[in-house]
Amino acid sequence: VADGVADTQTLAALGIWSGFSTAQSNPVSNGDDWWPASIQAEPNFRVSNGIPVFGNHRFCTRENADIIAREFAKDGADVATQHYFIYIASREGGCDHRAVNQNAVTRDDSHCTFQLNALSGMFEPNGQLGRRGWNVDSVKASMSNCADAASDLWVFCARGPWTPPYSCAPPWAGDLGPEGDA
């Protein structure tokens, strides 16, 4: 807040949700600004026809990549972040908004192409997505819903849910000194 303007994570830390609704948004990108993507220093990151893709996984269509870029742009993501999440959509769920992975052994109950894990509590009424009205069915209703929910999670958790140790550390975690968070 050095410039007097709170960013999305600062507002989330204060308990103020900063994501924009569709009605309120004035997208940073019109869905075309992200293309073509450039290579990023991520494992197995490659570009096919200008679209980020994970290794040999199924890549997003241009239409789905545009939707993902647009939803993340609405929440303030820069172009590099839009590229990253198109790549994540390929890595996690083959760019299929209906993707589901349930595995009791690995404690996985993940939904949509971003593999939003219900067992983490994110869909609970006070969870990062539940408090925004998302549930395991609504995130799979369309690519737009899937990407919108993932961008809402990104606002609150940054890349945490998609990078080891795959957890959400809210921006205020660890701010209480040696005593730790209550």
Q: Is 2 within a domain?
A: no
pLDDT above 70 covers a percentage of the chain that reads 75
Residue type, 132: R
Q: Is 76 within a domain?
A: yes
Q: pLDDT tens digits for 57-97?
A: 999 999 999 999 999 999 888 899 999 999 999 999 999 99
Packing angle of the helix pair 143-157, 79-93 (nearest 10 deg):
120
Give the domain extent around 69.
8-179
d(CA 182, CA 177): 11
Q: Is 59 within a domain?
A: yes
Per-residue pLDDT at 57: 94
Nearest in space to 58 (alpha carbons), one of 36, 91, 35, 84: 91
Per-residue pLDDT at 170: 63
Per-residue pLDDT at 115: 95
Q: Is 149 within a domain?
A: yes
DSSP 138-154: GGGS-HHHHHHHHHHHH
Mean local confidence (pLDDT), 158-173: 79
Q: Is 50 within a domain?
A: yes
Instruction: Provide the domain count of the chain.
Output: 1
Q: How far is CA 46 from the centre of its chain?
A: 19
Q: pLDDT tens digits for 98-148?
A: 999 998 888 889 999 999 999 999 999 999 999 999 999 999 999 999 999
Range with lowest mean pLDDT among 4-18, 34-48, 128-142: 4-18
